[in-house]
Chains A and B, each alone.
Chain A
Amino acid sequence: EAAVTQSPRNKVAVTGGKVTLSCNQTNNHNNMYWYRQDTGHGLRLIHYSYGAGSTEKGDIPDGYKASRPSQENFSLILELATPSQTSVYFCASGDAGLAEQFFGPGTRLTVL
């Protein structure tokens, strides 16, 4: 049974529109992460969270917001989507002392 799920799996959005990507984890991990994956780049960290109510900026936070309303859920929000945000987005969970992270299946976002 998948422990990290993402929705939607595919999304087409228009420039200037608002996009919300959702992530749910059943690992009971404190930490959650949002990455994007683009050709020629490794996974790049956008935002992360240490627990419900906390969000922290990662390496490339511009143009993105995050929300962690509960231990299980972590959302990534694009208030004004741009074509440069076309990418594959991965959510992950993890815990202090583990170092490794557990990933969802990814969301392919296309901004036209």
Chain B
Amino acid sequence: GDSVTQTEGPVTVSESESLIINCTYSATSIAYPNLFWYVRYPGEGLQLLLKVITAGQKGSSRGFEATYNKETTSFHLQKASVQESDSAVYYCALGGTNAYKVIFGKGTHLHVLP
């Protein structure tokens, strides 16, 4: 079936350190998968951080980036230097154009220490 697996949290890093949150997916019923990273800051709803709809392409936003790798079915989220304000829950997600449904990973809680 269709599924998303991501790094189990919580993940704790110090400010200015690098970050990687792993995400792998299985898209057996979606012909052309779209991949997303959503972020949920405390007290807020999920908001789209970045999306990539074409295999081999990289998406970036707010210093975060992720590359859609069809060969390894991965979409890892990376940032070279995190800030305390990046503390949040990050969700990897899988969808298809015109698909009614987006499949979410369990979320990774990131704590950035000052």
List which A66-93 residues lie within 8 A (CB) of chain B.
Answer: 90, 92
Interface-facing stretch out of B14-22, B44-52, B64-72: B44-52
- The 0/1 profile, CB within 8 Å of A marked 1, for residues 99-114 of chain B is 1111111110000000
Docked complex Cα distance between A7 and B48 (Å): 22
Q: Check A99–B43 contact: CB distance below 8 A.
A: no
B44 adjacent to A105 (CB under 8 Å):
yes
Contact of B97 among A42, A48, A92, A99 (CB under 8 A): A99
Q: Given the known A-B contacts A42-B105, A42-B106, are A105 and B45 also in contact in the complex, defined by CB atoms under 8 Å?
A: yes
Is A105 within 8 A of B98, CB to CB? no
Cross-chain pair count, CB within 8 angstroms:
56
- Residue contact A103 to B104, C-beta cutoff 8 Å: no
For B25, the chain A residues whose CB sits under 8 A away are none
- A1 interface contact, C-beta 8 A: no
A14 within 8 A of B: no
Whether, in the assembled complex, B36 has its beta carbon less than 8 Å from a beta carbon of chain A, the answer is yes
Query: Closest approach, in angstroms, between the C-beta of B45 and any C-beta of chain A?
Result: 4
Which residues of B does A touch, CB under 8 Å?
Answer: 4, 34, 36, 38, 43-48, 51, 53, 91, 95-107
